[in-house]
Amino acid sequence: MRIYGCLAILLFAVFSARGESRAPSVMTRQGALVGTQAEGLNIYKGVPFAAPPLGDLRWRPPQASRPWRGVRKADTFAPACMQKGVSMPGEAPPKTSEDCLYLNLWAPTKAPGRKLPVLVWIHGGGYSNGSASMPLYQGDRLARQGVIVVTVAYRLGPFGFLAHPELTRESPHHSSGNYGLMDQIAALQWVQRNIQAFGGDPRQVTIAGQSAGSMAVSLLIASPQARGLFQRAIGESGGVFEPFQLAPGYLLTNAERDGEKYAKSLGATSIAELRRLPAERLLGGDAGVITHPVAEPYVLPVSPYEAYVSGRQSDVPLLIGSNADEARSLLDPAKVKAASFAADLARSFGPLPPALLDGYPHATDVQARRARLDLERDLRFGWDMWAWARLQAAGKRAPVYYYAFDQRPPFPETSIYAGWGASHFAELWYVFDHLDQEGWRWTLADRQLATAMSGYWVNFIKSGDPNGDGLPHWPAYRGQADGVLHLGTPIRLSGVVALDTLKRLDDIYAGVRGVPFGGH
């Protein structure tokens, strides 16, 4: 208590001397922070939640960040984690560093004395790129509705997901590969320890993410290490529910082989040698094969599907869904030809059963282009979200609210997004109520939808139920024919998108598992 009192006096003296009475200060477990204040919000950027994973800490579980003396400024975003490329087309490449385990926080200025619900956002980017400081993810608009928004970084690509026999042997848990997921768990643990100082309630934490961030949400729900760290979950366009038999790279022994191949491609014969290499070198070689989590004994002992079937998942309310034109951002349909349709798919996914291909007519080039977009949408996103909704709805579990986003943003003809429609990530401008970040010709309908969607999301963060005054009713999904809320103009209840082809996929996956899912 004496230490806290001395630091409080120090904070007062510093800001009185500088005349910075509007600079918000807070005491965390590691030390005192000072952020910035803008438009009714206290904002803290670049807050360390774990020690820099450098040197011998590379490819180890995140360690506690060291306490600091005096007052630490939290007014600048930290670099993003090491990566190649960008997570969204047209995005400016972020500044990167291996020292990247930081978070950012937006809280209403009137939060002290209150216990506000908390949103913890996990960015997308295929586990290979992305940033917690992307302007689109900034929490200003949501925080003004009475919640605290936290965006977190995590190690990516080979830094976050390298499995290797030597790493497995040195681990007390006999596992390797999920350092990025462990970073997310460490950030949630930081929230549990510190969020009350910012006015937040550690018993009202919602994890949320889009694309790979949503996949991570499904994995955290299955992870025993994340249990109790959150009470609600939001998943946008991403889940991991396919049979691991069809994704053998997720299995530890196979991931370890990929790790050995990667090390060899860099000329390294041991983990010690890899740890001595400059961070930039690790993005070379066969880094492209180290891009996803691993099923291993500690963080992910069972897949999300197995966790649900066996009742080992965190049973929390869910808000999940996907977009009508997900695949348009992933491929150029003009390159799709009817003559090579099946062969092109086989190169991407391996041979696909004729029963599945028959669900996507592709006799002409026009048909083939539409078929490829629809199949990629269903295979990569639609089936996972439908399976997730059904697994949650089965039995006496917390409710799940299932959506389909089909609004077409006014992407300009000169934009890289031209003609993409309700593509992958298109919902984000509406969820974060950030239409004004782009000078596009937003309509009144777009603005009304952004108000409604951000309202649904905030209501869910506050209570586990998205419904509220002035919003069309959103019933919990229980498998009913019209139980999906279609987020567009107008907002309406309807059925699951592409249900017939999703059922074909479901039958194929059930055959691989040897156990029917049931409940089409």
- Residue 9 belongs to a domain: no
- Residue 5 belongs to a domain: no
Question: Is 265 marked active-site?
Answer: no
Q: How many domains does the chain have?
A: 2
Distance CA 146, CA 452 (A): 15
**What pLDDT, on the 0 to 100 scale, is given for residue 79?**
98
CATH number, domain containing residue 248: 3.40.50.1820
| 287 and 426 together in one domain | no
Question: Is 427 marked active-site?
Answer: no
| 278 and 153 together in one domain | yes
**What pLDDT, on the 0 to 100 scale, is given for residue 516?**
58
- Residue 1 belongs to a domain: no
Residue 251's Cβ-side half-sphere holds a number of Cα atoms within 13 Å equal to 8
Exactly one of 123, 164, 424, 434 is catalytic; which is it?
A: 424
| 306 and 296 together in one domain | yes
- Residue 12 belongs to a domain: no
Residue 387 belongs to domain spanning: 317-520
| 407 and 300 together in one domain | no
Exactly one of 211, 218, 237, 303 is catalytic; which is it?
A: 211
Tokens 């996507």 sit on residue: 360
- Both tokens of 34, joined, read 């000072």
Exactly one of 236, 326, 376, 427 is catalytic; which is it?
A: 326
Q: Kindly list the distances between the CA atom of residue 469 and the CA atoms of 278, 435, 449, 473, 474, in Å, as whole numbers in the listed order.
A: 54, 22, 15, 9, 12
The pTM (predicted TM-score) of the whole model is 0.94
pLDDT tens track for 452-484: 999 999 999 999 999 999 999 999 999 999 999
Answer whether 489's CB lies under 8 Å from 407's CB.
yes
Q: Which of 316, 336, 364 is the last residue of a domain?
A: 316
**What pLDDT, on the 0 to 100 scale, is given for residue 9?**
42
Answer whether 120's CB lies under 8 Å from 187's CB.
yes
- Residue 16 belongs to a domain: no
Q: Which of 268, 289, 316 is the last residue of a domain?
A: 316
| 348 and 363 together in one domain | yes
Q: Which of 283, 298, 316 is the last residue of a domain?
A: 316
Query: What residues form DSSP beta bridges with 152?
Result: 103, 122
Per-residue pLDDT of the chain in tens (520 residues, 90 and over written 9)? 344 444 444 444 444 334 344 789 999 999 999 999 999 999 999 999 999 999 999 999 999 999 999 999 999 999 999 999 999 988 889 999 999 999 999 999 975 567 999 999 999 999 999 999 999 999 999 999 999 999 999 999 999 999 999 999 999 999 999 999 999 999 999 999 999 999 999 999 999 999 999 999 999 999 999 999 999 999 999 999 999 988 888 999 999 999 999 999 999 999 999 999 999 999 999 998 999 999 999 999 999 999 999 999 999 999 999 999 999 999 999 999 999 999 999 998 888 899 899 999 999 999 999 999 999 999 999 999 999 999 999 988 999 999 999 999 999 999 999 999 999 999 999 999 999 999 999 999 999 999 999 999 999 999 999 999 999 999 999 999 999 999 999 999 999 999 999 999 999 999 999 865 544 4
- Residue 212 belongs to a domain: no
| 299 and 327 together in one domain | no
| 262 and 334 together in one domain | no
| 430 and 307 together in one domain | no
Q: Kindly list the distances between the CA atom of residue 53 and the CA atoms of 63, 86, 93, 100, 166, in Å, as whole numbers in the listed order.
A: 8, 22, 22, 8, 18
Question: Is 260 marked active-site?
Answer: no
**What pLDDT, on the 0 to 100 scale, is given for residue 113?**
62
**What pLDDT, on the 0 to 100 scale, is given for residue 520?**
43
Q: Kindly list the distances between the CA atom of residue 257 and the CA atoms of 122, 276, 285, 289, 520, in Å, as whole numbers in the listed order.
A: 28, 21, 15, 11, 37
**365-377 and 341-349 helices cross at what angle (nearest 10)?**
20
pLDDT tens track for 199-212: 999 999 999 999 99
CB atoms within 10 A of CB 254: 16
- Residue 7 belongs to a domain: no
Distance CA 187, CA 189 (A): 5
| 77 and 189 together in one domain | yes
| 505 and 387 together in one domain | yes
| 53 and 146 together in one domain | yes
**What pLDDT, on the 0 to 100 scale, is given for residue 402?**
98
Label each residue of 32-58 as H, E or C. Answer: EEECEEECCEEEEEEEECCCCCCHHHC
| 326 and 308 together in one domain | no
- Both tokens of 59, joined, read 């490819």
- Residue 15 belongs to a domain: no
